[in-house]
Chain A
Amino acid sequence: MSDIVSLEARKSEPRLRIGILRLTDSAPVIAAQEFGYFADEGVDVELITEPSWANIADKLSFGFLDAAVIVPPLAFAIELGLRGISQPLIVPCGISLGGNTVTLERGLAARVRDAAQSLSMAQALAAQIRRREAPLPLGIVHAYSTHNLLLRYWLASGGIDLARAVKFTVVPPARAVEALASGQIAGFCAGAPWGEVAARAAVGTTVATSDDIWRNAPEKAFAVRRRWADDNPDLLKGAIRALLRAAQFCDAPENASYSAALLSRHRYLDTDSHAILASLPGGAVTSQNLSRFWRHAATFPWRSHAGWFLQQMARWNLIDDGQDHAALAARVYRPDIYRSVAGAMGLAVPLADSKAEGGHDKGWMLDAVPRPIAMGPDLFCDGTVFQDEAAPAAQ
């Protein structure tokens, strides 16, 4: 009899199955699970470490996962059904800012660095590419990734003709070091800790980070199947509360070595904890490539971030021209849910859903209640300011 009762009980409190990849920015979700923050909120979470973005996408599409730590362009691809069956998703909070590296094989990196005395790093790479006969093979982690969009943006800013001069190859980050060593690719753009892993294996040198392309660039987001969110509004709020708590823990420099040890475990990243440490706030001694989990409103799902991703996806023909970007961004990115959860916790919450991206070369204060939020610089490498056109004016 007791079995039947427990089965019934389980039915009323469904599990939240969250998919993650072996990346530094899985940290808040892993911390929320391991420290019992999800459990404190009464949310029964199962963390599933997937080997590929393709698995994350398919398992969300077919209901094997309820949520995932995801690169936002892939969330839009799933929402639109660009790679198979479509599945409506929402992004009620962000996970991280920054954390990617552009890592080149060591010889090329040295030549680019030498030439970068008078030129920008991207221009210096452009000069190296012009000397080549064949296109430069560069690895990205997925076509619908922040890495693809950031790398293309950066290369284009250096005057590189992407259609002719570069051959993009999709290489899973865990294989990138091997591919770099074998000469299959001459460089890659991937999330932490893989640039650091390549440097430690003495096959690659990092020549640019997310910050060199777009300072405090949005990186991972927390995406949830809209159906799950609609069916479990209270559990969703509980999960977000747990994630906001974990984001603050992971962002605190004094917790870096603890988080690195946790992440390096076999069932999570299964890699050198020192390489992970280098990409955590407070953990870096020499590395300039940090993931940010809380500061600078890192968890707020900005509609203008969504707008920029969609603009860039359209630029490189990853989505059709006919898409209404503002409507799509509003459907997926949900600052309203974030505000209701964070506001009730007494956390500072931005007043606007969108902001101008790229206007700040130093720190600035963002209008928020009950108190302003200290923001970081947000310059693009080409100095552009991105305005989310169709966004309604801030109230």
Chain B
Amino acid sequence: MPLTILLIDTEEERARALEEKLRESGFARVVRAQGPDLAAIVEREHPDLVIIDMALPDRDALEDIRAISSGRPIVMFGGTDDPTFVREAIAAGVCSYNLSGVALADLKPIMTSAIALFQRYRHVETELAAANALLDERRKLERAKAILMKDKRMTEPEAYRWLQKKAMNESRKLSQIVEDFVRAHQDAQREVKP
């Protein structure tokens, strides 16, 4: 029997990938939804399972048991049966509600796919954030060197050594020294301007 899954995710690419995967598996009808009136959508579609991105505020709208499930069970996937599994889901940032009381064994592969996808996206996000931070550090270092070369008439290697020495003397990271130095310079500039 095909299950109906309500998928609530604003990350377009991830939602599409998950939808495709679930369709391939053949036992799921996927409905995608967003917006403020989720309770009405649940009433209309009667999904067996709701999968939702935990970063959305809409989870609270799914919480009101009587409003959306009219007496039917609504539990977070796994419940107390498999806390490790739920923990994995939370860590990945995805959550699900079993609305029709379908056997856990039938839902597990679906949630496993969702968790894997969310994990992968989270991983990409983390890597992206790390790459951006590194880029930002580099940019600030270039800026700090440029300031030193202009204000103190240093050469580029001299400017770099100056910053490195300062970091060593204060036993702090080079990136922190650079950050403070650039900010102090900007503050000083701002004070001069008005």
Contacts and interface: CB of A to CB of B under 8 A. Distances in A.
Contact of A170 (B63, B80, B86, B95): B63
Contacts of A84: 75-76, 79-80
A141 B64 CA distance: 10
Interface residues of A, number: 28
B36 A170 contact: no
Among the interface residues A63, A143, A169, A170, which one has the most CB atoms of the partner chain B within 10 A? A170
Interface string B48-89: 000000111111111111110000000110011001001100
B31 interface: no
Interface residues of B, number: 27
B37 interface: yes
A2 B61 CA distance: 48
A170 B79 contact: no
B57 A51 contact: yes
A73 to B, nearest CB: 12
Nearest to A74: B63
A83 B63 contact: yes
B57 to A, nearest CB: 4
B90 interface: yes
Interface in B79-135: 79-80, 83, 86-87, 90-91, 95
Interface stretch (A122-130, A172-180, A241-249): A172-180
Nearest to A22: B57
Nearest to A145: B60
A134 interface: no
Contacts of A178: 36
Interface string A77-113: 0000001110000000000000000000000000000
Interface stretch (A32-40, A54-62, A223-231, A257-265): A54-62
Contacts of B62: 54, 170
A17 B58 CA distance: 23
A182 B37 CA distance: 10
A54 B36 contact: no
A143 B36 contact: no
A152 interface: no
A59 B65 contact: no
B61 A170 contact: yes
B39 interface: yes
A142 interface: yes
A169 B80 CA distance: 27
Contact of B60 (A59, A62, A172, A184): A172
B80 A143 contact: no
A101 B148 CA distance: 55
Given A174-B57, A179-B36, A182-B36, A62 B63 contact: no
A64 interface: yes
B90 A59 contact: yes
Contacts of A59: 90
Contact of B55 (A51, A53, A141, A179): A51
A304 B34 CA distance: 41
A85 B79 contact: yes
A166 to B, nearest CB: 12
Contacts of A53: 60, 63
B63 A58 contact: no
B4 to A, nearest CB: 22
A54 B59 contact: yes
Contact of B61 (A58, A63, A167, A172): A172
Contacts of A172: 57-58, 60-61
B67 A168 contact: yes
Interface in A162-207: 167-172, 174-175, 178-179, 182, 184
A175 B54 CA distance: 16
Given A168-B64, A175-B57, A175-B58, A58 B76 contact: yes
B90 A62 contact: yes
B36 A58 contact: no
B99 to A, nearest CB: 14
Given A54-B95, A85-B83, 11 more contacts: A51-B54, A51-B59, A52-B58, A62-B86, A62-B90, A64-B87, A141-B60, A167-B67, A170-B64, A178-B36, A184-B36
7 contacts: A52-B59, A85-B86, A142-B63, A143-B65, A143-B66, A175-B58, A182-B36
Question: A-B pairs with the 5 shortest C-beta distances?
Answer: A172-B57, A54-B59, A170-B64, A52-B59, A51-B57
Interface of A: 51-55, 58-59, 62-64, 83-85, 141-143, 167-172, 174-175, 178-179, 182, 184
